Structure 1
Amino acid sequence: MYAIKSFLITYSFMLNELQDTDVLWLRNPFPGLTLNETIDLQISVDKFNGNQWSQTNPINTGFYMIKSNNKTIALFDEWYGQRNNSTGKKEQDVLVDLMQKSAFERLRLRVRFLDTIYFSGFCQDSRDANIVSTVHANCCRSIRAKVTDLVTVIHDWKRFKDPSRNKTIEYRWSNHLACQKSWIS
């Protein structure tokens, strides 16, 4: 059984994952995922370094797919156990700490880091609007800025899908100005 954060819920350990609402789904994400049975966790990143197996990719928890097994259950038990005792840290920070402390290796997890061409975010836009599946309002400081720039993404998407759009001109996403400004104020 697989679980995708916020949409498919595995009752044993995904019940609290309905709180993150800063990801837009533009199209079906499954073509950008693999159903390879040996992969335990597929997770989005802030900036993709070109290597889907490299733990130097800066993970984010905006989108992930997990294979339900003893290894991933152990990861979630540890992750949520530490999250509840990590004052001032978000769940993503706790998972990053676990990864840096070799929890993935210790638990023998096979983790695939998702390319931002398919699983985009405000830290690194997809280079190809023809294949991007999700857009995460990451690298943004406030909810207000996230909402503002996600609305802009929706307008961009409508503009991209407009049949009268000149398809000979390279398509570009709008800048995420509200998120950029959220770090200044």
Structure 2
Amino acid sequence: MKFDVELERVLSKASMKGKTVILTTLNDAWAEPGSVFDLFLESFQIGIETKKLLNNLVIISMDQKAHARCLAIHPHCYALTTEGLDSSTEAPFMSEDYLKMMWRRIEFLNTVLQMGYSFVFTDADIMWLRNPFPRFYPQVDFQIACDRYYGNPEDKNNQPNGGFTYVRSNPRTILFYSKDFNKVCTMHANCCYGLGTKVHDLKIVLEDWKNYTSLPPNERASASPSWRAPQNCRT
């Protein structure tokens, strides 16, 4: 499988021992001087044993303005664009643009894993107060932060948050991050409160599916249904 030469160059330069990188995404809305991005970088500067990790941080810029800002102040930058996505403003949680961005992020992280790189993914609004690497379980494939953690990793009441994950590259995690809509057979509207909301969301699923299946077969491989934001969805 052929991969982007520029991405390979950036990942190789930023990689620490064991082909591991730290990844975050940046868009124009958070890239302004004095905004979230500057605070994010400052946390690495003042955190406990975190300054050295800036050498392993790759900024994935989602638009040209964010990429220009990254290139001006950080050595490891990669431009990733998403067709039809306006990243000049912050996308509200579970909005259509937010979901497009999440799908694109999953696709990109899958590519990184296929290239043989393990990664820590961190949202740019997470402050790095100390080096987390000594606290990771070395043989665990996938580790994720929790909004609420009750002391037992098997407790189903823990509330995971995808804003911070550590993922080791291997066949299991590559499969975990893959999405092949040629294998999707059903879609369950199990997250919705109330019959009216369920009908509303099922109509959206069918509308998106019709748009997806109307594409020529050779275009479906690089596309996916948008699965727009459901109403009153359980989290």
Q: Give the TM-score normalised by the residue count of structure 1.
A: 0.36
Give the structure with the higher percent helix: 2
Q: Which has the higher contact order (CA 8 A, sep 6+)?
A: 1
CA radius of gyration, larger in: 2
